[in-house]
Structure 1
């Protein structure tokens, strides 16, 4: 029989069969136990070198090239993008309400708070030409940023629950398993506090880098971008593991994360456009009259809702990027990833 052949005794491999792919419909060619790959190395551990039929070393059984979530090695950015779009088509009905509830609603609330708290008084020029701050200006500035930061911290677990719920939906639907909205949110709530804690750690690292200079902050942001999927699937050392993934395959991870960041940048620009329109239409102080207040609040809510596609792209893009990095380390598929979420 062919090297690595695991088909029925006495049978010959089907046309086009190779030990690196196999036939998932029959189980032929997969390691013992089927395509779930039980007993394989822990995530991040080196896969033991095995001889290929041609005698070369360093080979491991590759992932299913048709896996809906895991991009096989050497498929490139086209393979990653195809799995991202496939995931959106497959899971958007569950992901959209999760994103709206856990990401857009907190963003809308913070935007509305900002309308009432942002300082509207402008510095004036004194007799000597130097700028003079209005009375209480600094107090208003500190109150504004303090309330916004407090709201962001309070909504942090809600947003973390949404990332967990969305990741659960993506993995289970890719594996062909049921993924109801209620069950997804319950999973997200179980993982919310842990993911929120690591989000704070990552945010602090990015802030420290940005304080040194803008570029180090951006670099750290790219280097730890995969900490969320690492925590949810592996539940250990998410910052260090994401950092190693980034530097082991620098160009690959950088390219995927950069594409995700482009979606977030587009959402930021759109939010700035909405804010500018609000300022032009309703003035610097939109809370001065009931009519302008209603209009400004409506625009703030619309701006938050328009960011939903960017949140969706961020979630899907990072999960698929993480799955691709796992495939670079050893055999993995959607069924195994769904099982790892627990």
Structure 2
């Protein structure tokens, strides 16, 4: 029980002490009045679990969100790392090697020695080949990545609920949800891409507004785009701040890995796969830099999932066990 509160001057007739912990600011019979003292520190609304390992209750703030992100990573890293290595890191490394092997730059330079202004004889064929391979490879990789996001979400949520998890069951769940999640991800990518084409800012806005669509599909499986927009606009500052932190970490990790890859592959020339020795060296550099991007994948998975759980709890009381049951 908080210390006794005396009715302040101007309080309505019949003013009484709020119940244990007080009302949330703006709620209760006199919430929002200038004389209302507000909830005590550490107060949590009824029906919410302040100790839930995944769901950040209202009023806990950024520190509570961060603690749950760290806790999810600590509980699940033994399973999340192999899932992300298989479904995120390995496909990206394979696509990088393929794009490097199909790069026709060295062949074009050789064929245009006599007339640098002329197009190479195989210019359009080579361009179409690399375009088709990269687009097709990206689509396949997107499906594999969707499997990984679904499997990782299953692991984090069930661990928070205290339920048993293992790699095989996680991948089986991811396989069941991969196709649907992949389809929505493709649609969201097209929407964000169109936004980028209409100047950069609309694309950035759409990327943030649709950041919850993946978790919405996995947990609710209904109207992920509309639900994500509504969450974004209902709690703009909260969601924007959380997602911005996740994006910042992802960008830093990705840029560092890309710079290291560029510096590491530069000494092997424009056609590094022509000689066995240089090919081994380039593949090793790409493999190492792909692994260096692993923290970006982990931060994105954990950060967006914990943010989604926090959005849900602002709509109605929910806990880790309830979210785990929704995954099916």
Distance 1:314 1:20, change over 3 A: farther
Residue 102 of structure 1, CA deviation = 0.8
Distance 1:85 1:133, change over 3 A: same
Say if 2:162 is the partner of 1:176.
yes
User: Quick one: distance in 1 between partners of 2:150 and 2:298?
Assistant: 13
State the partner residue of 1:65.
Answer: 50
SS in 2 for 1:286: coil
State the partner residue of 1:8.
Answer: none
TM-score, length of structure 1 as denominator length? 0.80
Could you list the per-position Cα deviations for residues 236-279 of structure 1 after superposition, in whole angstroms to 9, with x for gaps in the alignment?
00011111111111111111111111122123212321332233
User: Quick one: distance in 2 between partners of 1:299 and 1:236?
Assistant: 42
Could you list the per-position Cα deviations for residues 15-45 of structure 1 after superposition, in whole angstroms to 9, with x for gaps in the alignment?
x965989xxxxxxxxxxxxxxxxxxxxxxxx
Aligned match of 2:225 in 239, 242, 249? 239
| Residue ranges of structure 2 left out of the alignment (5+ in a row) | 1-18, 33-43
| Residue ranges of structure 1 left out of the alignment (5+ in a row) | 1-15, 22-50
Q: How many residues align?
A: 295
Distance 1:267 1:136, change over 3 A: farther
User: Quick one: distance in 2 between partners of 1:118 and 1:136?
Assistant: 13
Residue 86 of structure 1, CA deviation = 0.8
State the partner residue of 2:97.
Answer: 112
- Cα RMSD of the aligned pairs, angstroms, is 2.6
State the partner residue of 2:171.
Answer: 185
SS in 2 for 1:329: coil
User: Quick one: distance in 2 between partners of 1:156 and 1:165?
Assistant: 14
Aligned match of 2:182 in 193, 196, 200? 196
Say if 2:255 is the partner of 1:269.
yes
TM-score, length of structure 2 as denominator length? 0.83
**Quick check: 2:92–2:141 contact (8 Å CA) kept in 1?**
no
Q: Which moved more, 1:211-220 or 1:232-241?
A: 211-220
Q: Which moved more, 1:140-149 or 1:224-233?
A: 140-149
Q: Which runs of 4+ in 1 moved over 4 A?
A: 16-21, 54-57, 121-127
State the partner residue of 2:85.
Answer: 100
User: Quick one: distance in 1 between partners of 2:124 and 2:65?
Assistant: 48
State the partner residue of 2:40.
Answer: none
